[in-house]
């Protein structure tokens, strides 16, 4: 799925988490750089300090030894061979002194076994000016360094950092070194100790970011639910009191759109109602003229022609009545219906009585099944219009000699009106389009406006009712059931 199609919540989470990771990566790089710089300074300073301390200690020893040598030389010069022959112990001391030479110290012999493994990563070498080794730590490499100062060397595959110090007074050249790996380990430990809390608490950070983003998007979620819960005819302005500042332009744009749609629909309904109202009078006059002309002519062909004209006028008048009814229904909302407690059985009885003659004319058995009162909250006039359209459609589309039954009862405790017939019925595919305006089935042979089911749907919607379609009598025809909200105590 492309990133642009993801939810705002996921986008914000991804951006914030990615930004946090980049920031922490930059912090880690800076910490590593700064830690390496500080470790370099501290370790280099320690190398120089160790070399200077060692130089001071060895200088004292070398100078003492040099002074002792000078004294012995003067003593030897002041003694003659005859005296040495008479003093065998003195002669033996001088010979032993000459044969021993200068001291050479091997720290391995002095210290014994290493106390720590890191001692193998340290090196100390002290030499006389002539290159003779005066002091060496165990495993110390031979650094090929001739001048003083800091140096880098590679010995045996190991990288060393060291400091060399020349002491011309004592005639010493001191080298102190350590493996670079020690510094790398320390820097690595510093960085790991820095980022460990971040890695441990990163899931918590992601959770907190998710919580914060979700909480920040709550007004948008409420706004979405507010729009989703709206009925198709609810075009009132969306409240923006809880909308965040960034969403206010969107809410205002939606409200302006609702206003334009509402005005357009209102103009359309007004035009439809006005046009239908204006057509009623000329249609009634035309019907009267057709009837008068039919009575005053003796020509059968003319009578037949006038009869067809009268049928067309009747269809036009029926269409006008349906348009007016639909316009009035759409212009109302639930808050201004004249709702009160009514009896569905009384509504059904009145509608069946008004359609009995039409049913007799088509030899249709129109029956009523309403054994007991069924109280609901509704507008009696509009419910009669709803039921009249259902009964009128059933009689219109049921074949001659068919059966139509009107019921007022309850299904699973839910009040309902039901019209069932054994006519041609409606396929599942056609049932999805029955409520469209001016829709008539492809196999319909009778006349009609195609507005009846649209009127039924609108009136049911105003009453909070639900329409259920099913099969008719003995699996034939159509059953239309209107389920109403249960009347409260």
Per-10-residue mean pLDDT for the chain, 489 residues long?
67 86 90 91 93 86 70 63 59 58 48 65 86 82 86 88 89 90 90 86 86 82 80 75 78 86 75 65 75 78 78 66 63 63 92 90 91 89 87 89 92 91 82 69 54 81 88 86 83
> How far apart, in whole angstroms, are the C-alpha atoms of residue 84 and residue 484?
141
Residue 107 is predicted with a pLDDT of 46
110 burial via Cβ count (<10 Å: 0-12, 13-18, 19+)? exposed
Q: Where are the domains of the chain?
A: 3-187, 245-327, 337-483
CA 74 from chain centre, in angstroms, equals 96
Identify the CATH assignment for 337-483 out of 3.40.50.2000, 2.40.110.10, 3.30.565.10, 1.10.3720.10: 3.30.565.10
> How far apart, in whole angstroms, are the C-alpha atoms of residue 237 and residue 219?
16
Residue 483 is predicted with a pLDDT of 93
Torsion of CA 299, 303, 309, 313, to 10 degrees: 140
Torsion of CA 377, 381, 386, 389, to 10 degrees: 160
User: Is-contact 408 370, C-beta < 8 A?
Assistant: yes
> How far apart, in whole angstroms, are the C-alpha atoms of residue 172 and residue 163?
14
Q: Could you read off the pLDDT of 316-344 as tens digits, one per residue?
A: 666 666 666 666 666 555 555 677 899 99
Residue 385 is predicted with a pLDDT of 85
Angle at the Cα of 215 (from 209 to 221), degrees rounded to 5? 125
Residue 352 is predicted with a pLDDT of 92
Query: What are residue 166's DSSP bridge partners?
Result: 173
CATH topology of 245-327 equal to that of 337-483?
Answer: no
> How far apart, in whole angstroms, are the C-alpha atoms of residue 189 and residue 192?
5
CA 484 from chain centre, in angstroms, equals 39
Q: How far is CA 381 from CA 41, 384, 392, 449, in A?
A: 96, 5, 16, 21
Identify the CATH assignment for 245-327 out of 1.20.58.110, 1.10.287.130, 1.10.10.10, 3.90.550.10: 1.10.287.130
DSSP for 19-71, written as a single string: HHHHHHHHHHHHHHHHHHHHHHHHHHHHHHHHHHHHHHHHHHHHHHHHHHHHH
Regarding pTM above 0.85, the answer is no
Residue 406 is predicted with a pLDDT of 94
Tell me what percent of the residues of the chain surpass a pLDDT of 90: 20
Q: How far is CA 164 from CA 2, 42, 340, in A?
A: 63, 17, 107
> How far apart, in whole angstroms, are the C-alpha atoms of residue 395 and residue 397?
6
């Amino acid at each position: 799925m492309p990133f642009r199609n993801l939810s705002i919540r996921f986008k914000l989470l991804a951006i914030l988490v990615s930004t946090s990771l980049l920031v922490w990566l930059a912090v880690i790089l800076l910490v590593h750089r700064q830690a390496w710089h500080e470790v370099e300074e501290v370790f280099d300073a320690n190398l120089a300090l160790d070399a200077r301390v060692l130089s001071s200690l060895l200088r004292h020893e070398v100078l003492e030894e040099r002074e002792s040598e000078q004294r012995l030389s003067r003593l030897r010069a002041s003694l003659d061979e005859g005296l040495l022959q008479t003093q065998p112990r003195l002669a033996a001391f001088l010979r032993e002194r000459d044969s021993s030479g200068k001291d050479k110290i091997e720290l391995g012999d002095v210290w014994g076994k290493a106390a720590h493994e890191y001692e193998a990563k340290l090196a100390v070498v002290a030499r006389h000016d002539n290159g003779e080794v005066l002091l060496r730590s165990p495993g110390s490499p031979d650094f090929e360094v001739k001048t003083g100062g800091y140096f880098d060397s590679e010995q045996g595959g190991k990288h060393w950092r060291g400091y060399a110090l020349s002491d011309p007074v004592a005639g010493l050249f001191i080298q102190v070194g350590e493996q670079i790996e020690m510094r790398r380990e320390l820097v690595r430990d510093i960085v790991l100790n820095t980022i460990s809390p971040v890695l441990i608490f990163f899931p918590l950070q992601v959770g907190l970011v998710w919580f914060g983003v979700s909480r920040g998007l709550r007004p948008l979620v409420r706004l979405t639910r507010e729009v989703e819960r709206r009925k198709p005819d609810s075009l009132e302005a969306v409240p923006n009191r809880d909308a965040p500042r960034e969403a206010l332009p969107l809410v205002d744009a939606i409200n302006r759109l609702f206003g334009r749609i509402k005005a357009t629909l209102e103009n359309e309904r007004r035009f439809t109602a006005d046009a239908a109202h204006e057509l009623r009078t000329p249609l009634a006059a035309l019907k009267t003229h057709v009837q008068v002309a039919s009575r005053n002519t003796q020509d059968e062909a003319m009578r037949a022609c006038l009869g067809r004209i009268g049928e067309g006028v009747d269809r036009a008048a029926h269409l006008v009545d349906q348009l007016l009814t639909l316009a009035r229904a759409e212009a109302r909302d639930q808050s201004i219906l004249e709702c009160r407690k009514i009896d569905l059985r009384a509504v059904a009885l009145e509608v069946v009585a008004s359609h009995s003659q039409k049913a007799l004319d088509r030899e249709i058995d129109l029956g009523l099944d309403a054994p007991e009162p069924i109280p609901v909250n509704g507008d009696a006039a509009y419910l009669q219009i709803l039921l009249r359209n259902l009964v009128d459609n059933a009689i219109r589309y049921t074949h001659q000699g068919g059966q139509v039954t009107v019921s007022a009862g309850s299904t699973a405790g839910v009040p309902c009106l039901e019209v069932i017939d054994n006519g041609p019925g409606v396929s599942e595919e056609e049932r999805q389009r029955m409520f469209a305006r001016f829709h008539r089935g492809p196999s319909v042979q009778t006349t009609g406006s195609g507005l009846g089911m649209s009127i039924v749907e609108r009136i049911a919607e105003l009453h909070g009712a639900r329409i259920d379609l099913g099969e008719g009598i003995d699996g034939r025809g159509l059953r239309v059931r209107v389920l109403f909200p249960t009347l409260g105590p």
